[in-house]
Structure 1
Amino acid sequence: MTAPLLLPFPAPPRAVRTAFDHLRQAEDAGLEPAGLQLLDRPWDPAGCAPRVRAQLWPWLDDVAGWLNGTHAWQTASAIPSCWPAHPHLVAELAVLACLRVVAGDAPTPHALEEWHRYALPGFTTRMADRLGIGCPPGRHLDWPARSWAAAHDSAESAQARRDLFDGDTGHGRSAAAAGPSARPLRGATP
């Protein structure tokens, strides 16, 4: 028995299908955008309920494997096995997978062609740009920009930014009393 030419796209789990159905029903009913925010969006895992994420993670892992086996001819296009340790890959893989479900459900091939033309190459290009040579098989590399993120999150840096914001808007103290932090930002005209 020979292997199939193409493996089918992994079917989304029940919680993901239910989320899509609820969103479609809410849209059909004309639910206000504020009400739509209460519904799970599988393409944005951080906003999903834990019960949805519990089914979403294994599905996204299957999708990553399917993408690697079906679309990753070059190593730069392969999703590393440590993808859950890369927040940008988690976010983008969820969007790509959900777009593929919607495109696969379309009554004509146009949406699937757009997925192949735009979504998939966009994903692989961004992944390669962000990971560089990244994580080789079996060896996760730590986040190279960790020290930059830590510096951004420090209390001193946050206060310096707030001082610049306050100086720009005149909040908190008068611009004359604000001193050097009231100077315009680089490139701004006084």
Structure 2
Amino acid sequence: MALNPPTPTDGTGDPGRSLVRPFPEVGPLMRVAYRELGILANGSEQQIRALGDPARLPRPWDPATCRHPDLRAEVWAWLEAVVEWVNHEHVWDAAAVIPPCWPHHPHLVRELAVLADQRRRAGAALTSDLLEDWHRSTLPGFLDRMRARLRNHCDEGHQAWPAKGRHIRHTERACRAERAEAFTADVNTLDEQSPDAPHRAFSVVDLATGEIHDERTL
């Protein structure tokens, strides 16, 4: 007697949906960015010259390098889709869920961009080697670091940055001047071997105004 197969679900009990969801695709501007990076890696000398300064090419795995507003918007939309995909396809325990406030955590943004890029590369490979490594190492490593850093701070909604006070103290002008003085003193010990060398002093950038100060003026 033949048995009817069970109705497929999406893992939540809802019937009629695919058992697995495809990895989100990048947008058109991101495809251009990846194509240019591919040319930089494997193109002819003429093609590489046509790209201009390689350092200015956007790298989608590093969102800060994506300076065009439309490209940056595509990166955010892609990462949003990737987070939903990871939470649905790879997370079972609630403690491992990427929180909805992830855009407010710079460390998560940066790591998610790399996680997404490596999954994109692995999915496009002609063998399963990169994908196996992503499953075995990349994704678990990301989730472990996320849990260690967030702990339970955002379980019930986004919480203020616990280390904000210490960061503010670290960037205060007096603290920065003290560190710059220590750096200068260390460098000047090297000048003892060369008595004619001029005194060197480190510059300090005021993060609020962008002004550059000699550490001795602070």
TM-score between both structures, scaled by the size of structure 1: 0.84
Residue 9 in structure 1 maps to residue 9 in structure 2: no
Alignment-mate amino acid for residue 171 of structure 2: D
Q: Structure 2, unaligned stretches of length 5 or more?
A: 1-14, 189-198, 202-218
Post-superposition CA distance 1:144-190 (Å, at most 9, x none): 000111011100110010111111111548xxxxxxxxxxxxxxxxx
**One-letter amino acid of the counterpart of residue 153, structure 2:** G
Report whether the alignment pairs 1:36 with 2:54. yes
How far apart are the structure 2 equivalents of 1:58 and 1:134? Answer: 25
Task: State the one-letter code of the partner of 1:163.
Answer: E
Determine if the alignment matches structure 1 residue 102 to structure 2 residue 121: yes
1:88 to 87, 104, 107: 107
Verify: 1:24 aligned to 2:38, yes or no.
Answer: yes
Larger radius of gyration: 2
- If the length of structure 2 is used for normalisation, what is the TM-score? 0.74
Q: Gaps spanning 5+ residues in structure 1: where?
A: 174-190
Alpha-carbon distance, 1:76 to partner: 2.5
**Letter of the 2:169 counterpart:** A
In the alignment, does 2:75 pair up with 1:56?
A: yes
Report whether the alignment pairs 1:132 with 2:151: yes
Shift in Å, 1:140: 0.6
Structure with higher helix content? 1
Distance 1:14 1:132 in 2: 37
Higher relative contact order (CA 8 A, sep 6+): 1
Letter matched to residue 25 of structure 1: I
What is residue 123 of structure 1 aligned with on the other side? 142
Matched residue type, 1:83: W
Q: Root-mean-square deviation (CA), in Å?
A: 1.7
Q: CA deviation at 1:133?
A: 1.1
Question: What stretches of structure 1 move > 4 A for 4+ residues in a row?
Answer: none
Amino acid at match of 1:26: L
Matched, 1:169 2:187: yes
1:7-61, Cα deviation, whole Å (9 max, x unpaired): 1111111122221111001111266xx9321211000001112221111101101
Within the candidate set 153, 159, 168, 1:150 is matched to 168
Report the 3-state secondary structure (helix = DSSP H, G, I; strand = E; otherwise coil) of the residue aligned with 2:53: helix
Query: What is the CA–CA distance in structure 2 between the aligned matches of 1:63 and 1:127, rounded to whole Å?
Result: 16
